[in-house]
Amino acid sequence: MTDTTKCEIEFVKLEDDRSWPDWCSRKSLVRFLHQTMKPFEDSPVDIERSLDYAFSDEKRAGGFVMLGKMDDGLAGAVVMLRTGMAGYVPEYILLFISVDPRLRGMGIGGKLMRRCFAECDGEVKLHVESGNPAKHLYERMGITHVYDEMRIRL
């Protein structure tokens, strides 16, 4: 098992599309999320749309992006969106989280999640496919199964 105590990570929180650090652009984050979330990845177009929503100034939109930097580059990232429905739906949805596959098992995902949760002033929900191995991390973080989601495609 990898020693997680030596994992030094720097966090950068983005709340708008104007503050990207020199080591990570919007385009490189979209590519990172699309490539590192396989086989559960979303399309680059949908990832772009999530960033538009996170950085929106509209009344019931918004959110933030949390970047995790190790050494000279991106180690992991989270896209957290506001739902605008506090009181009957959790205030936030953790939409995307991913860690560079070469760095998995070092505790980066847990550190990113704890840092993001510290930034939230309400409940957080997330959707996870039943076969996703990250489900075990979420359970260790104290995230509980509340509802089964049902959908119909029209």
Q: Considering only residues 40 and 102, tell me which one the structure prediction assigns the higher pLDDT.
A: 102
Quote the pLDDT of residue 24: 96
Answer yes or no: is pLDDT of 153 > 80.
Answer: yes
Check pLDDT > 90 for residue 7: no
30 phi and psi, to 5 degrees?
Answer: -60, -45
Give residue 9's pLDDT: 93
More confident residue, 31 or 139: 31
**Which class is domain 4-140?**
alpha beta
Contact assessment for residue 33 and residue 47, using Cβ atoms and an 8 Å cutoff: yes
Helix (H) or strand (E) run with residue 92 in it: strand 92-99
Q: Per-residue pLDDT for 6 more than 80?
A: no
Strand-by-strand arrangement of the 63-70 sheet: 10-14, 63-70, 73-82, 92-99, 124-125
Average pLDDT, the chain: 89
What are the domain boundaries of the chain?
4-140
pTM score of the predicted model: 0.88
In the chain, the percentage of residues whose pLDDT exceeds 90 is 62
Candidates 86, 79, 149, 90; CA nearest to 113 is: 79
